[in-house]
């Protein structure tokens, strides 16, 4: 889940919350909506939610990870467009994140250890799961597609 907010000129901040860190009702709704097998097994969302609650207490959500993004410059947009036009596939997202990710807060690895934002963008991108690289890349692309007037509003 992402929440967009304007921080400083040309920097966009969004909070990322993994599904397991959402309140149990939101977790269940997302899983129920996205999983046809659950909808076959449970007649309603409430039935699925009751089943999950019966399994025991749900851990409290941890603090959200915040990613700081900036819009692409004209030259960077042209570079990404070239990659897209040449069938770049996942390389497009790597380029978007390489150019647009400027920092993060409260980001941890699988073991729960804090991950600091490094000077090397390659190192930073390699610390992110591929699905998150794609999601961040899409946010950067969307932010970069806005006109300056729309971005200020």
Q: Which tokens is 56 given?
A: 């025991």
Mean pLDDT of the chain: 74
Cα separations (Å) of 74 from 71, 77, 93, 133, 135? 9, 5, 17, 21, 21
C-alpha 143/C-alpha 20 separation (Å) is 27
Cα dihedral 57, 58, 59, 61 in deg (nearest 10): -150
Q: What is the pLDDT of residues 72-122, one digit of tens each?
A: 888 888 888 888 888 877 888 888 999 989 999 888 877 778 889 999 999
C-alpha 53/C-alpha 31 separation (Å) is 14
114: three-class secondary structure by DSSP: strand
């Amino acid at each position: 889940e992402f929440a967009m907010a304007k921080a400083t000129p040309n920097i966009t901040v969004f909070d990322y919350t993994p599904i397991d860190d959402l309140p149990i009702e939101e977790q269940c709704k997302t899983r129920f909506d996205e999983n046809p097998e659950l909808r076959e097994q449970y007649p309603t969302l409430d039935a699925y939610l009751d089943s999950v609650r019966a399994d025991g207490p749900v851990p409290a959500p941890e603090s959200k990870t915040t990613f700081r993004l900036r819009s692409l410059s004209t030259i960077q947009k042209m570079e990404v467009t070239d990659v897209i036009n040449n069938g770049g596939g996942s390389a497009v997202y790597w380029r978007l994140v390489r150019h647009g990710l400027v920092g993060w807060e409260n980001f941890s690895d699988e073991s729960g250890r804090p991950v600091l934002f490094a000077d090397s963008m390659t190192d930073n991108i390699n610390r992110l799961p591929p699905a998150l690289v794609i999601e961040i890349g899409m946010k950067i692309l969307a932010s970069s597609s806005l006109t300056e007037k729309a971005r200020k509003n």
